[in-house]
Structures are given as structure tokens and as C-alpha cells.
Amino acid sequence: MPELPEVETTRRGIEPHLVGQQLAEVVLRCAKLRWPLERELVATLPGLTIRAVERRAKYLLLRLDRGNLLLHLGMSGSLRVLPQPQPPGRHDHVDLIFTSGVVLRLHDPRKFGALLWCPGEPLQHRLLRALGPEPLSDELNAHYLRKLASGRKQAVKPFIMSQQVIVGVGNIYASEALFRAGILPTAPAGSISLSRWQRLATAIKQVLNEAIEAGGTTLQDFTGGDGKPGYFKQQLQVYGRAGEPCTACHEQIRQIRLGQRSTYYCPRCQS
DNA sequence: ATGCGGACCTGTTAGC
DNA sequence: TGCTAACAGGTCCGCA
């Protein structure tokens, strides 16, 4: 489900409810998500207080006064803050219960998400260490992209979705950014000119920023920490619109499969 | 080094 | 209406 805008929306939704909260109890109802859930969480976390809720790539970082929790929502994960404990529904796999009674609940039907305990610096964790730059930072620019793409034959869409290249761009926003930049998703990354990388870098920043503003994209069941859906779906110009007219030129939007992912583009606007 | 396909898991939708 | 196949927001890993 969540790409960067949805994770950031979630972060903003839960942060004000969690900072300063002291953990009372951890309830694990599922043996494993992406990885086996560490039983030591149940013994280690009670008593610790959340100092900050940060995001790196599509990971949420809960910084505690000692150690950190790394959270990834996978394809279908979502978080809710509940004012008090409630009976769990289907796929409500984890509850973090605080001394105030507030509960942070992780819901994840497909179980591709992750919850990891990280005693040391989370940015040095093996899963985060090799990640590329944040797309909304100045590190993402045309020169960086051209240099990294040099000599590479991979299609530009899977290239920009690779988290070693840039983080946060998933399947929806990759198609949207390429449409805005007028670049075919199948163009080999190594063949793209500096000026087109410039347009793409700008498009990525714009589409992510606009999606964050709208509270993310809700396709089926995404909700931010407050349970509200995101409204960016209405602003999608190509994703999920196969056969419909292009918003710019009225040509039919096409759908192809690229790297096992559905990919949408306008054959007239993108070259 | 790069790039691809498979795997993980459940739910929903499209098609016969 | 009911069954089956394909597909869905991610990404790690192993292999060529």
C-alpha cells in the first residue's frame, strides 16, 4: 500500500499522539510479518518512552529513550492510534499499549510489513544503511540521477523505484512522475539526457509533495493514523486509468507490465 | 555489478 | 451464481 506520501501521512497522523507516551505492554498476535516478530519486544519495551517519530524512506522510526522500533508497512499495512484498548479485528497483529491507555495498532492483511527492534542507531541498520537519498531533499537532482544511471540498461521506471537509487517512489508515483516528465517508462535509464533527468527530479518532488498534501492515495483501504483515507487518488493522471483518455491530449492511456509491475503511460505525451 | 524472477501472504476483482 | 486466475501500494534474496 504505502509509498512515501502514505508513510509520511501516517507519521504525521500518529506523531502528536505518541511523543512522550510510555509503553506499558506489547501484544503480538501474529508469529511473523515479513520476519519473525522478536518475542523480546514484549519484555524489553515496557517502561520505555517514545521521544520522536521519524521517517526514513518508507520506514517509520520510533525513537525511544533507549533503542528504536523500525516499522515498515509493506503493501497492506496501516497504523491506527486508539484512545483506549479495543478488541482486535482480523489482521490486527500488534498493539503497543501505553500507560495512558492509548494504543498504537498495526493492521496488515498481507503481512509484508515489518516491526524490528533496533538497540543501536537505526540509520545504520542493515536494511536502512544502503538506501538512496530522500526524494524531497536536495540530494535528489539531475546530476545525481544521470551519474547513477550512466551505463545502465534498466528501464527508467524500475530504476527510479529502486530504493538504492531514490527512496520512497513506489509503483503509483513512478508512473505519475514519468507522465509529468514526459518520459516513457521503458526508456533505458542510461539513455536519458540531463535535461530530462531535471524534469523527472522535479516531477518526483512535485507529485510526492502534492500527494502528502492530499493525505496520500487510498486505493482500497489505506488510512492515516487517524483513520481517514487519502485523497490523492482523484489527482492520479495515469495510474489505474488504462483505456481512459489522457488528461492532456485525450489519447488512450496504456497499461503494460514492467518488472512484474503494472505500468501506465500516455503514448503521445511520453517519449 | 547489474538485473531479473521468485518468494512472502491475504483479499478483491475479472473472466469464464 | 460460482469457481479460478490474475492482480494488488513492497522488497529481500538468489541466480544468471
Contact A108, A35 (CB under 8 A): no
Query: Residues A38-47: pLDDT tens digits?
Result: 898 999 999 9
A229/C7 CA-to-C1' distance in Å: 22
Phi, psi of A30 (to 5 degrees): -135, 135
A221/C5 CA-to-C1' distance in Å: 23
Evaluate if pTM is beyond 0.85. yes
A241 labelled catalytic: no
In angstroms, the CA A18 to CA A262 distance is 36
A2 labelled catalytic: yes
- Give burial (CB, 10 Å; 0-12/13-18/19+) of A30: middle
Q: Please check whether strand B approaches the CB of A220 to within 7 Å.
A: yes
pLDDT surpasses 80 at A20: yes
Query: Residues A214-258: pLDDT tens digits?
Result: 998 887 767 777 777 888 889 999 999 999 999 999 999 999 999
Which residues 42-81 in chain A have a CB closer than 7 A to strand C?
Answer: 57-58, 72, 74-76
In angstroms, the CA A166 to CA A257 distance is 21
